[in-house]
Amino acid sequence: MTITERMQRRMTNAIANWSRRRHGPDQEPVTITNKRIYILPTRLGLMFATTVVTMGIGGMNYGNNLALMLSFLLTALGFVAMHHTHRNLAGLRVHSLANEPVFAGQRLNIQLAIDNPTIQTRLALQAETRFNGESLQAQPIHVGNDIQGITSIGVVSQRRGWLSTDRITIATRYPFGLFRGWTILHLPLRCLVYPKPSERSSTPPPSEFDTRNTQDLHRGDEEFAGLRTFHPGDSPKRIAWKAYAREQGLLTKQYAGAAISTCLLDWDALAGLDVETRLSRLCRWVIDSHQQGIAYGLKLPGFIADPALNEAHRVRCLNALALFQSDARGSS
């Protein structure tokens, strides 16, 4: 890292800390007012200013009116560019969007919505944040008048638990790149990260017959119960070929009367493994059991989920694995 980059980072952090003390935590949606916009010349802007000043001094020394006129014209152009950079941010409204949970190691997107209630089109808006000491930037977007733009910052999740950031920067270098205008938003953005599933080297614990007479329409073999849309992975034997011949689409037969198999995914069954390895293995078992149609329960220290087979149960179990001992670990 160069000395210039270090100085720039220190200055950015100092401004961000001062901005937080000044404005405090933001409530959504956040309107970008004139008092929240900061502007500094870019490297190109400094070179431009140096060139203009040198040209002006040379024009005065040699009495060259054409050089003086050009330096004054470029100076005026610089002030106009600074005004447009400021105007490109003023009045925008920003709020966060829901972020879907991901598994550790996957890429998640921190999504923001930028509303432009004015008639002026806003160009080259870029969202930025810092995570684990790394500066992350979204692709620049343009937001037309009375239109909502969606931007997302990609983050690779390394650890399970809550991945959070409370500082988002909306910046622009429009129109000529001579100035960088930005505003700092303090929004509590976070996304839940599930444990990374282990490899499919082991199978879930042996299944047991469900004595509660629960039936699974997807896996029964006795009484015909109807048709449903074909899903990848369905057995070819279950496909309603007659309906397909009548051009009714690809359908799968459903049967009722078969009891669901159940299994208990127990933390104690993985004794001898470290915490993260156990969670990774249990996460794999939850995914596989759900895909195979096996009703599963989950038992962790301080958490017990009775066997079930639905999406809400899957989410509940994965959330429990993601947040296991999160107080002791600290948030991601």
Residue 205, pLDDT score: 66
E runs forming strands in 259-332: 261-266, 295-300, 303-308
What is the DSSP code string of 82-99?
HHHHHHTTTT-EEEE---
Would you place residue 241 in the very low, low, confident or very high pLDDT band (cuts 50, 70, 90)? confident
Domain 24-193 has CATH 2.60.40.10: yes
User: Which is nearest to 315 in space by CA: 105, 101, 99?
Assistant: 101
User: Which is nearest to 280 in space by CA: 205, 202, 332, 164?
Assistant: 202
Among residues of the chain, what percentage have pLDDT more than 70? 83
Sign of the dihedral through C-alpha 3, 9, 10, 12: positive
Would you place residue 213 in the very low, low, confident or very high pLDDT band (cuts 50, 70, 90)? very low
Q: What are the phi and psi torsion angles at 108 (to 5°)?
A: -115, 155
Cα distances from 156 to residues 4, 110, 151, 163, 195, in angstroms, run 28, 11, 17, 10, 13
Q: How far apart are CA 18 and CA 21, in angstroms?
A: 5
CA torsion 214-216-221-227 (nearest 10°) is: 140
Residue 321, pLDDT score: 93
Which carries the bigger pLDDT value, residue 204 or residue 222?
204
Residue 217, pLDDT score: 43
The answer to whether residues 288 and 200 touch, using CB atoms and an 8 Å cutoff, is yes
Decide if pLDDT at 216 tops 70. no
Would you place residue 43 in the very low, low, confident or very high pLDDT band (cuts 50, 70, 90)? very high
Against a cut of 0.75, is the pTM above it?
no
**Residue whose tokens read 């429990």:** 320
Residue 199, pLDDT score: 85
Residue 204, pLDDT score: 63
Cis check: omega of the bond before 195, within 30 degrees of 0? no
**Coil, helix or strand for 4?**
helix
Decide if pLDDT at 313 tops 80. yes
Strand pairing partners for 112? 96, 151
Decide if pLDDT at 258 tops 80. no
Q: How far apart are CA 215 and CA 202, in angstroms?
A: 27
Vertex 33: Cα angle to 31 and 92 (nearest 5): 45
Domain boundaries of the chain, sorted by first residue: 24-193, 208-329
Q: How far apart are CA 329 and CA 5, in angstroms?
A: 32
User: Which is nearest to 154 in space by CA: 180, 170, 134?
Assistant: 134
Cα 329 to the center of its chain, rounded Å: 22
**Residue whose tokens read 């429009």:** 174
Q: Identity (one letter) of the amino acid at 239?
A: I
User: Which is nearest to 128 in space by CA: 147, 110, 108?
Assistant: 110
Q: How far apart are CA 69 and CA 311, in angstroms?
A: 71
Would you place residue 13 in the very low, low, confident or very high pLDDT band (cuts 50, 70, 90)? confident
Mean pLDDT, rounded, of the chain: 82
